[in-house]
Structure 1
Amino acid sequence: MAPDPEPGESPAKPYNLSSWEWALENLDLSEYRLKSMQDMARLFLKADSPIEFLDAFLPYPSTAPKRKPRKRNPFESLVNADKELETDVVAQFRNVVALKKLCPKMVFTTSERRPDPKNMDGTGQKVDAAFFRPQDAPTDGRPHWSSQVVPAEFKSRKKGDIYDPFDDKGIDFESQAEKRKEVRAQIVTYSELVFEHQHRVFVIMLLVMGRRYRLLRWDRAGTIVTPSVDYYENPDDLCEFLWRISHLDDEALGIDPTAIRLEGDDFDELDTIAQRVVNEVDETPRPLEGETFPESFHYKYVRKMFEESIRDRDRPRYKLQIPSGDGVDHFLVGKAAVVTPGMAGRGTQCWVAWHCEGSRFVWLKDSWRVSFEDIEKEGDILARLNHVKIPGVPTLVCHGDIGNQTTLTADWWKHKNPRAPVAESPTATSAPPTVPDTVVEVGMPLKKFLFGRQLASIVLDCIGAHFDAASHKKLRVRVLHRDVSDQNIIIYPKITRSSEGVRSLVWGGLLTDWEISKPVIERNIQPKARQPQRSGRWQFMSVYLLMNTLRRVKIEDELESFFHILVYYAVRYLKSTLLTDDDAAHFLEKCYDCFTVHNNRIICGAQKWAIVMQKTAGGLFFDHPMYNSTLPITFASKGLDVIVHRFLLCISARYKILAWNEWLEKHPNHPAHPQHRDRFQTPPPSKRRRVEGDSSASDAPRRNREDDDGPTPGMRMPDIPTPEDRILADRLTNHPYMIAQIRNTTSKVSFWKEDRLHDRVPPDYKCHYPLYETLPEPQTFPEPQTLPEPQTTSVADSE
């Protein structure tokens, strides 16, 4: 299945930090930094000078006090900084800033020895120093990520520029030297921590290396960096920087003015809210038997989630202002329940929030929206789905862009590269305003499901929502979700009524996060690519999209994603023929976390490929490396086996047809082609032979095959699809067949048992396959290329 460019489609991102974050084995700090830096590749832009940087990003009001010229160099005591230890430079710099009053309205404190407590920062990172407002300045030698205004990192220069993360003179500004990369990765995660602990539009950072310094401005679209300058020889610009950050207000230094930090009684009000049990309902599934609920109520678990978010009193609490119609609504929040990892991207954070105007708990999501043409706000999409009463999607409360909050990195790049195409921008996902969306439903993560039948029903609800969104007749614009993953499926209790009139509280599913959905287009309309890259979680993307990042997402791909989610959670949490926890975890790793690198491209791993490409779709299996054999996987509940089998019949038939169609396209003159039926009879599969010759994936030049009537060297002719294959594959092009199969199977009580287990992935699980230290760079331009079948014995390995 060659990834020939399909018009009007943004390529999928490769294996990025978000996918690594949800892998089975937790990344340690060094691995996390490596991945975070890789996600930032080509997102560092160079300013011409410090003064250009200051005037562009820290403009100084004409009414503010002017810095007085100094007769003596304030940094004269640092003349030998290039020869001194990092700790000595930090101490001297701190003394100079204080004694010379270079930053009179800020306090410069050091924190290179002690991290914040684990409840504040589980990673234990320590930036060397930071500038604080006097009332917030710490005295305990810790970073205090939630309060610092401008972080400052120091590096030794005793060995020259080996710790400078950037190379002004080299071919690549983002130097690939190991020590330089390590420092770059370090400051990436420092900026990320500031964004995580504060409500930020951007972060300004000072980087000092011996006698030299750089200024950096971070936002979600990228980072702008000044050249390395000797502050002893040229002290004025650094003095101007310190003076400006001292006199500029919080908003001018990147702090979000719509997030009001709470103090005193306002801070304590959240504790009072967390203890209210009035109108609280237990979420346990049960027959209601005459039980009635208040008109306005919340589930107990929702209040508990809010209570957990404010458990640490050292963590700041906020009142957030969100546009609502012509006015503004207010929401009280503590610690975010969800924080998307990484510095680059949408920077999504979610809270269980208290809606002041509505006096209720809600789910508040804040992210940076890409502002390319034709990309809608998620709130607008939800409003349309809510208007026609589509079940299984969140209920919108309010949404809207926050003021004039936008990233500036893309504008800077365009200013520096006025003639370059937009798609060539390394920050082409930028210029997004921050967009909070608030919905009524506060759900539970999918892993909270209680038994297999319930898991299947939750997935069924979400497939139904997906179906209605893509085909509902009353919708003016029908949409395809395009990001079906486990994190976008939540559990939410709902009241149902049986055919006999019995009311019950059951756990249903909601399909969330519609922000990258795309309108469903008619077949005769040419689609339009809206952005250079699209998102999607690696683990649950279809095999076709993993092999073909430039292809358009189709219903078949989304249904396959639902299948992979069902299998993943069934293997991880339910009884099966995988007898040991290590076997279950090993299968999940091999099938969903692993990948293959071929021709400098990341493609699907071998286990996942083998499951969907099996010629006789009998069910799941594990190519176990220890036993050198294939182990069938079945579940304690027959219902799951039935659903998996019927899904696989359709999925495998689809791939059989895709493989055949691709082969025909590449071999128009082969005697097996339909146009040559009069001179070719298909031999039995057992007699087909592999034609000897060079691999089709070889980098060697290929001869013109248009005039070649013989078979292509190195290509195996795939099985010819049968009429039954085409019927099965067609069932995957729309939802009704799979909806009916899952609904019928879940209705048969005898098919299901008490099958829930503990999490079968041990907390200390160690992956069987190594983490790649280097990965291919993201591909943003179409490059037609034939991809080989992944080797079933070579997973997470380069070819």
Structure 2
Amino acid sequence: MMSDGRNTTVFLRFERLMKTYLPSLDGFDEAFPKEKIAEISTALKTACASPATRKQETVPEAAPKDGSKVKAEKMISMAWAQTDKDHRLCPGHVLNLSEDKSEETDEKRYKIDGSFISDADKDSIVPNVQNWALQRLSVEFKRGGTSLDAFDDHPGKTLENEADSRRLVRGQLMSYAERIFTYQHRTALFMIFVNGLEFRIIRWDRSGCIVTEALKYVETAEDTKRLLQFLYAFSKTSPEQQGVDTTAVPLSKDSCGWKRMNALSFAHSNDVKELERKITAIPSDFLGPADDPGKSPLFEHGLLHDDPTATCNHQIDHPLDPERPDIRPVFEYVRTLFHKSLPKGWPRYKVTVDGRVYLIGKPITDPSGLIGRGTRGYVAVEWETQRFVFLKDAWRPYYADLEYEGDMLQKLNTAKVSCVPTLVCHGRVEGQETEASEYSPITGHKTSDEVEAPERDKSKRRIADLPSRAKASTSGGKARPPVKESGRGMTSEPQMPEDQRDDKGTKRPLPGTKVEVSDGIGLRHMEHYRIVVAEVCLEVTSFLYGQQLARVIMHCINAHWQAVKKCDILHRDVSASNILILPTIKSGWIYWTGVLSDWELSKFLSGAGKDLKARQPFRTGTWYFMSIRSVAYPHRPLGIPDELESFLHVIIFLAVRLVHSNCGLHMVHAFITKYFDDAEQHWDGRPICSETKVQAIKQAVIRSGDTPIAFLTGDETLDEANQPLEGDGEPRHPLRDLLAELLKLFQARYAVEEWEARSAQVARAKETATGSLPSRQSTIASRDGAFQRPPSELEPFDIEPEDATTADVFSGPTEPSDKTYLEAQKLDSHLAVLQVFKRYVDNPRFVWPLDDKVKDGLDGYQPPEFFAQAAKKARLTVRSTVTPMTTINEGKEARIRARTDA
């Protein structure tokens, strides 16, 4: 289903949903007397002819007079709009239709059919567009029919019916909900899904959705009354009950905060260009990326209000002056990113984290779907200090023994681990947890209307087991390959019965085990969390030449090494998106350093002398960069070699895309598909790493098709096999040899592991063979009993069997050499890999070109559909303030990533 995961829907009867979430109907009879209900019912029934009795396109009374046709679903939406205009279906709210034109601020150009918007925001409505930032209650219309019903609540069926048309509609609904969660600060969203003459109520949150049965709304006045009761009850609820996150306080355009954000967004004449170079002087009041200036004197002088929501005279308090002394200079890219976060038409908010006030606009990073962590990153203004910081807003898994990212980061900072973000503050948003997950048949504390869950210990939250990578369909509704199911009531991802689980989480049953399907089995309980770090960084794709890329990754490996050595902490999500660049001023130079960010999934290293418990019982990491071993053996704990291998995959990914090589655009696309996107299938049905990725390690060569990839320094001559000719006057690109040495280390590692695994298999086989087992030579029957294998003495040939000494089935593989063992052991620590990087990055005898960065090889790349969602999370946009380059089209939108945490 939907982009973020299957089995994340639970069913509640309409009456129960109303009683649980919209309980107040006080005053309904006065607002909607019987006569008015009957009038509304008649009006809707007249305007909405039964879809079964008319063609898909007809000419309604409200259609344009030029004779153009109107689609059936638009006829229904027009009927609702006219009825709302005459009778105010949802008191205090107006219905705005928006199916024809997308909002200019929406890069995805989604067009939900309509929404109810509060009268308080009526003057801000742009007619006939989505007004994503203002929607309180979203509405989607379909012409009717089973094929367009997003859910299936018939007895014996699963809610997430896998029919293509139904799945596409579910993805469409989710994509609209995702837009609202991006534009607004939300804990939940109510949506009305109108399918012909029926409607469902949906309640979305970051764990999944709650959906009611399909109800008629025009057949009788009583049907219409039920719809009106929902709309009336919704209108009487508080913003919190409607799903609005009231901890994010909107700023008015006349507020001190809004005007100050405008002033801070304009380029300052003393801002410092961030390019690496020797610098002789910087402004005395320059504010570095991690500088804490303390409380701004502007408050003491009365130039700023203590409360940024207060109204002020902006012409006096915030005059536009590129050299104004009350604004301190920063690196140019920081102000540019902040400026981009304040587009016209986007709301701005005040949020509080651990008592500190921050002002934010549009996120510079946002999630690729609705369900899950929903991480959004902001370049924020810390109000008290007036400095720029990075604020991360996310929903984190909520259960015992999962440490907060801020706590892990504080440990790293206290231990003085270099090249990691500097924690400013963090904290959970009190009282904000997902509600749909409460109905999970595995971890929830409530029961849905279809599943009776056993009593659970409510003091210990368990979490549903999930696969390590994203499912295949997108929130835009793209179809994914069908899931093979053996029959109704079975699932391809079974869960262990509760009495076989422990407090560490759920365990997967043996492959082939079948358990009853239960709607909502994929729900995870989440809590709202915010963290602020001092550094605003550049994305890793902002590097300017290959040596710089290698140095940045070396810094991050060093950070990883220190985290393990000083704190026994393993990162567990090394990926291209979590490696960032921080310009700093050091010894008279502007110097670009690497920053290893996003320690959200980090964990204490096994064997570190701590009371370890499984904190997340599913494989963590980003599919593109996970080690071959961690994918093949998901229940084995991650180790240092796995993390180092992820760094290897990261540099390969970035270098093939962005460093000059013998690969044309089509070769880059083919390589990314075969190496990163593709997957093989394990015998139990799990996806494992592609053969191209495995062979690159085993053979210590990266290839695009049959062509080894070679990085080039300039105008090397290529032979018939597209390989650079050595000795033509051009020095070898150091990246070729750096990668070759790294690949040989991992080649040795897997050679040793393969030999040890094969030797163990042979030993087990020999042990079994020496035991006393009953003879099966003449009694082995076919599975259906139709035939048996005859005994060998009945065979009509008198031929001596082959000498047993010539074919020993128990012979083991060839043991690796001592040198291979030594190479493999080097990956038990970071030192050997760091030495390889340092040798090539810092040794002057290796000549690195300064013009080897090229246009992104992923320009125009479309990943295979099965991995479209995982790819979206793995790739980065090549957009920075340093070198303007073509943006990757990630499905339907472009992203900016310049931050210290994701």
State the TM-score bracket (shorter-chain normalisation).
0.7 to 0.9
Q: Is the 8 A contact 2:425 2:533 kept in 1?
A: yes
Q: Is the 8 A contact 1:731 1:737 kept in 2?
A: yes
Whether 1:586 aligns to 2:670 is yes
Q: Is the 8 A contact 1:319 1:333 kept in 2?
A: yes
Q: Is the 8 A contact 1:667 1:712 kept in 2?
A: no
Which residue of structure 2 aligns with residue 418 of structure 1? 453
- Paired residue type of 1:274: S
Which residue of structure 1 aligns with residue 127 of structure 2? 140
Distance 1:319 1:278, change over 3 A: farther
Q: How big is the shift at 1:734? A: 1.0
Instruction: Work out the CA distance in 1 between the residues paired with 2:3 and 2:43.
Output: 38
- Paired residue type of 1:668: A
Which residue of structure 2 aligns with residue 437 of structure 1? 531
Which residue of structure 1 aligns with residue 850 of structure 2? 754
Instruction: Work out the CA distance in 2 between the residues paired with 1:458 and 1:537.
Output: 20
Q: 1:76 aligns with which of 42, 64, 69?
A: 42
Instruction: Work out the CA distance in 2 between the residues paired with 1:274 and 1:641.
Output: 42
Q: Is the 8 A contact 1:279 1:296 kept in 2?
A: no
Q: Is the 8 A contact 2:8 2:523 kept in 1?
A: no
Whether 1:195 aligns to 2:181 is yes
- Paired residue type of 1:133: S
- What does residue range 236-315 of structure 1 map to in structure 2 within 5 Å? 236-266=225-255, 267-275=258-266, 277=268, 280-289=271-280, 294=285, 296-297=287-288, 298-310=330-342, 312-315=343-346
Whether 1:643 aligns to 2:738 is yes
Which residue of structure 1 aligns with residue 840 of structure 2? 745
Which residue of structure 2 aligns with residue 660 of structure 1? 755
Q: How big is the shift at 1:405? A: 1.0
Instruction: Work out the CA distance in 1 between the residues paired with 2:551 and 2:285.
Output: 27
Distance 1:726 1:263, change over 3 A: same
Q: How big is the shift at 1:513? A: 0.4
**TM-score scaled by length of structure 2:** 0.71
Which residue of structure 2 aligns with residue 483 of structure 1? 573
- Paired residue type of 1:301: Y
Q: Is the 8 A contact 1:64 1:247 kept in 2?
A: no
* Identity between Structure 1 and Structure 2 (%): 29
- Paired residue type of 1:127: I
Instruction: Work out the CA distance in 1 between the residues paired with 2:869 and 2:278.
Output: 54
Which residue of structure 1 aligns with residue 555 of structure 2? 461
Whether 1:57 aligns to 2:16 is no
Q: How big is the shift at 1:166? A: 0.9
Instruction: Work out the CA distance in 2 between the residues paired with 1:626 and 1:643.
Output: 15
Q: Is the 8 A contact 1:111 1:143 kept in 2?
A: yes
Q: Is the 8 A contact 1:490 1:510 kept in 2?
A: yes
Q: How big is the shift at 1:238? A: 1.8
- Paired residue type of 1:490: L
Which residue of structure 2 aligns with residue 211 of structure 1? 197
- What does residue range 698-713 of structure 1 map to in structure 2 within 5 Å? none
Q: How big is the shift at 1:216? A: 0.5
Whether 1:470 aligns to 2:564 is yes
Which residue of structure 2 aligns with residue 18 of structure 1? none
Which residue of structure 2 aligns with residue 97 of structure 1? 84
Q: How big is the shift at 1:412? A: 2.6
2:148 is paired with a residue whose SS is coil
- The structure, 1 or 2, with the larger RCO (C-alpha pairs under 8 Å, 6+ apart) is 1
1:513 is paired with a residue whose SS is coil
Which residue of structure 2 aligns with residue 695 of structure 1? none
Instruction: Work out the CA distance in 1 between the residues paired with 2:73 and 2:80.
Output: 11
Q: Is the 8 A contact 2:677 2:867 kept in 1?
A: no
Q: How big is the shift at 1:359? A: 1.0
Q: Is the 8 A contact 1:371 1:431 kept in 2?
A: yes
- Superposed CA deviations along residues 254-274 of structure 1, whole A, max 9, x for unmatched, are 111111222223333321111
- Paired residue type of 1:317: R
Question: Which of 536-545 and 78-87 deviates more?
Answer: 78-87
- Superposed CA deviations along residues 526-574 of structure 1, whole A, max 9, x for unmatched, are 8532234343211111111232333321111110011111122122111
2:544 is paired with a residue whose SS is coil
Which residue of structure 2 aligns with residue 124 of structure 1? 109
Whether 1:37 aligns to 2:2 is yes
Instruction: Work out the CA distance in 2 between the residues paired with 1:727 and 1:344.
Output: 45
C-alpha root-mean-square deviation of aligned residues, in Å?
Answer: 3.2
Question: Which of 433-442 and 247-256 deviates more?
Answer: 247-256
Q: Is the 8 A contact 2:25 2:232 kept in 1?
A: no
- What does residue range 7-22 of structure 1 map to in structure 2 within 5 Å? none
Q: Is the 8 A contact 2:765 2:810 kept in 1?
A: no
- Paired residue type of 1:54: M
2:95 is paired with a residue whose SS is strand
Distance 1:397 1:526, change over 3 A: closer
Q: Is the 8 A contact 1:429 1:531 kept in 2?
A: no
Instruction: Work out the CA distance in 1 between the residues paired with 2:808 and 2:722.
Output: 34
Instruction: Work out the CA distance in 1 between the residues paired with 2:807 and 2:113.
Output: 61
Q: How many residues align?
A: 681
1:435 is paired with a residue whose SS is strand
Which residue of structure 1 aligns with residue 403 of structure 2? 376
Which residue of structure 1 aligns with residue 603 of structure 2? 518
1:450 is paired with a residue whose SS is coil
Q: 2:100 aligns with which of 113, 125, 135?
A: 113
Q: Is the 8 A contact 2:628 2:689 kept in 1?
A: yes
- Paired residue type of 1:45: V
Q: How big is the shift at 1:717? A: 5.9
- Superposed CA deviations along residues 693-713 of structure 1, whole A, max 9, x for unmatched, are xxxxxxxxxxxxxxxx99999
Instruction: Work out the CA distance in 1 between the residues paired with 2:697 and 2:372.
Output: 31
Whether 1:337 aligns to 2:364 is yes
1:405 is paired with a residue whose SS is strand
- Decide which structure has the larger Cα Rg and report it: 2
Q: Is the 8 A contact 2:427 2:531 kept in 1?
A: yes
Instruction: Work out the CA distance in 2 between the residues paired with 1:744 and 1:601.
Output: 39
1:280 is paired with a residue whose SS is coil
- Paired residue type of 1:349: R
- Paired residue type of 2:615: R
Q: How big is the shift at 1:69? A: 4.9
Q: How big is the shift at 1:231? A: 2.2
1:218 is paired with a residue whose SS is strand
- Superposed CA deviations along residues 755-779 of structure 1, whole A, max 9, x for unmatched, are 4222242533456x5657999xxxx
Q: Is the 8 A contact 1:622 1:632 kept in 2?
A: no
Q: 1:322 aligns with which of 326, 332, 353?
A: 353
Distance 1:774 1:766, change over 3 A: closer
Q: How big is the shift at 1:360? A: 0.3
Q: How big is the shift at 1:65? A: 9.8
Q: 2:431 aligns with which of 404, 421, 446?
A: 404
Whether 1:575 aligns to 2:541 is no
2:432 is paired with a residue whose SS is coil
Q: How big is the shift at 1:375? A: 0.7
Q: 1:366 aligns with which of 381, 385, 393?
A: 393
Instruction: Work out the CA distance in 1 between the residues paired with 2:7 and 2:407.
Output: 32
Distance 1:260 1:630, change over 3 A: farther
Q: Is the 8 A contact 2:378 2:391 kept in 1?
A: yes
**TM-score scaled by length of structure 1:** 0.79
Distance 1:636 1:436, change over 3 A: farther
Q: How big is the shift at 1:410? A: 1.5
Whether 1:166 aligns to 2:131 is no
Distance 1:375 1:61, change over 3 A: farther
Q: How big is the shift at 1:631? A: 6.9
2:363 is paired with a residue whose SS is coil
Instruction: Work out the CA distance in 2 between the residues paired with 1:466 and 1:430.
Output: 29
Q: Is the 8 A contact 1:279 1:294 kept in 2?
A: no
Question: Which of 580-589 and 184-193 deviates more?
Answer: 580-589
